[in-house]
Structure 1
């Protein structure tokens, strides 16, 4: 029975991946920043192993990786994300990990690319040079970001504010990223070793279409409002400069249409078509409605 460690296990993709790995005949270990925070995962999956990871403390990585055969490397969106990624890869090599699935981002291999992509590519290169068999997943923008970042204005104003103009994006449901990762992590043999997969949803969508899908699911009118870049910058005023500038660069790329590519990789690997925006909206409709 192989042991799989998932770092960032309480995040958007990590939470879904823990569920996707259940009932596959594997020992699943969830790397969490706080055991208290990870307790909800264990309530859902009593057989799950929880292990606390503090990236600045090598001993916690050593403990977390002991006995691990395969690793899904999900790092936080933080200023030191590159250093964290490299540190985990180095620790995994010392621990004898046999396969790493790295959650990267769409366009990470573009040259010169944007800052977010360059950060991900630096970690990818470190992994490629580590000598550990690897698979890289490069998903597009998550549908779940509409819940995480836009639900409040959708609930209370019926407005979806974004600086994307008429740009179309091939949004992907995090459940499809997780299912793809689970298939690769549980696969026998080396079919996926050395591969980099671009993951997208089934179609590229403008935000008018996203708003319409949420409106249909909730039965309440939702309208997309295109906001100027400077307004978006001001809205992120509490965020550190490195974060806001990286996000604005990503928005600009999407507005220009560079995030509209669609692949069939999810279905090719999992045998299941990726979720549509309508399915996502119906699944999460309670998140887009104000509490009565």
Structure 2
């Protein structure tokens, strides 16, 4: 049976992040929503945007919290707190709580492309959550998105008279990219169609071919009619820039989180990460968003 948006209670974790922010506008027809966020400010913002939803500010690193969040839930989209030192444990606690739920029909895990890449701690962490979910016996779907286009500060670059992109790793390394609007469409299809997607793992890529950050900046330059210069950050500044994007600060961060950022930067500097767009396009039933199209959409939003 497909999902029933009129009666099914849907839980989304990390509901104030990029992934959920793109998904929530597609759920206007969903009557019973429970959104888990980390901060009081996020709770206030989402309550204003989605007054029909139950918004809960909670620390996910607690078995009691996860049990409470999953009470009466029919479907769960678990988006783990990336780079959190306890992300693996949080994922395990969510799965364990789901196993105790008599109402749960679908556990959707947002993971990452190529969890086999052990050299990156964030990939290894998410692979551990995937393993626990697969062995749990729960009805699951695993989504594995690649690098987000939406992490590029297009508004900042367009607004600068002489735009400069601070590069944390080699701008020659090749990447496959995904637009959060495409990820949201895939999440929505999996959520609504449910049984069609049980026990599946979907690698999710938007771009039809690999694209380096240098090539991405060249596309942006042509779209904004300004030459985007690239500033190659030294290693320490590169780590700080990643932490600033994630947490809004680089000091006072758990060393295990810094370890994760450092390992990712070193990997990306030498290898990048690439995949294929076929699965995503099949899931969403349309052509995936290409990078130049994404730039056009974002510049249109700015206007």
1:64 has 2:78 as partner:
no
Q: Which runs of 4+ in 1 moved over 6 A?
A: 286-289
Task: Report what 2:291 is aligned to.
Answer: 277
Shift of 1:119: 0.6
Distance 1:288 1:224 in 2: 22
Task: Report what 2:58 is aligned to.
Answer: 53
Shift of 1:9: 0.5
Aligned equivalent of 1:130, options 129, 136, 151: 136
Shift of 1:154: 6.8
1:249 has 2:249 as partner:
no
Shift of 1:84: 1.0
Distance 2:301 2:238 in 1: 23
- TM-score, scaled relative to structure 2: 0.82
Task: Report what 1:80 is aligned to.
Answer: 86
Shift of 1:115: 1.4
Distance 2:270 2:88 in 1: 27
Task: Report what 1:261 is aligned to.
Answer: 275
**1:36/1:233 CA distance change after superposition, 3 Å:** closer
Distance 1:227 1:109 in 2: 28
CA RMSD of aligned residues (A): 2.7
**SS of the residue aligned with 2:170?**
coil
Structure 2 stretches lacking a partner, 5+ long: 1-6, 244-249
Aligned equivalent of 1:100, options 107, 118, 126: 107
CA contact (8 A) 2:221 2:227 kept: yes
Aligned residues: 284
Structure 1 stretches lacking a partner, 5+ long: none
